[in-house]
Structure 1
Amino acid sequence: MASNAAVPFWRAAGMTYITYSNICANLVRNCLKEPHKSEVISREKVHFAFSVWKEGKPLKPVTRSDSPQE
């Protein structure tokens, strides 16, 4: 039997650890003073590529550049 007493608060709030850590990182970034704030905000952009597979073969990869929500 597992006890609920040792459940982390982020889990008790219904969040995943990734969601919790992203919220914390955004709070820290927003608390920084210039010029450090603009430097770290420029590094938070995410670049990734994905391919849709059809009939066992990948179609042309699509590259995306998303920045986190403001």
Structure 2
Amino acid sequence: MSSNAAVPFWRAAGMTYITYSNICANLVRNCLKEPHRSEAIAREKVHFSVSKWAEGKPQKPTLRSDNPQD
């Protein structure tokens, strides 16, 4: 029995689990019919804030939006 038998296929392919799950999620979204597809793509957007630190104190945060489709 090969030692690779217990290794998940995404690891054997050289991927991280996050990369694998993102590929699977995109495939599922693309298989949906409208209007469910556009709703799923809209939920995919991620919003976050970034604060730079200066002299040990956080500066005013800036809001960011990450959309892999753009």
Q: TM-score, normalised by structure 2?
A: 0.84
Deviation at 1:4, TM superposition (A): 2.8
**Corresponding position of 1:49:** 49
- 1:62 match: 62
Structure with the larger helix share: 2
The one-letter amino acid paired with 1:38 is: S
User: Any idea what SS the aligned residue of 1:65 has?
Assistant: strand
Whole-angstrom CA distance in 2 between matches of 1:32 and 1:12? 29
Give the counterpart letter for 2:8 in structure 1. Answer: P
Measured after TM superposition, the shift of residue 58 of structure 1 is 1.0
> How high is the sequence identity, in percent, across the aligned residues?
82
Cα shift at 1:49? 0.6
Structure 1 runs (4+) greater than 2 angstroms displaced:
none
Shift of 1:15: 1.2
Q: 1:42 deviation in Å? A: 1.2
In the alignment, does 2:12 pair up with 1:12?
A: yes
Q: Please report the RMSD computed on the Cα atoms of aligned residues, expressed in angstroms.
A: 1.4
The DSSP-based 3-state class of the residue aligned with 2:33 is coil
How far off is 1:9 after superposition?
0.9
Q: Which amino acid aligns with 2:4?
A: N
Gaps of 5+ in 1: none
Give the secondary-structure state (helix, strand or coil) at the position aligned to 2:26: helix
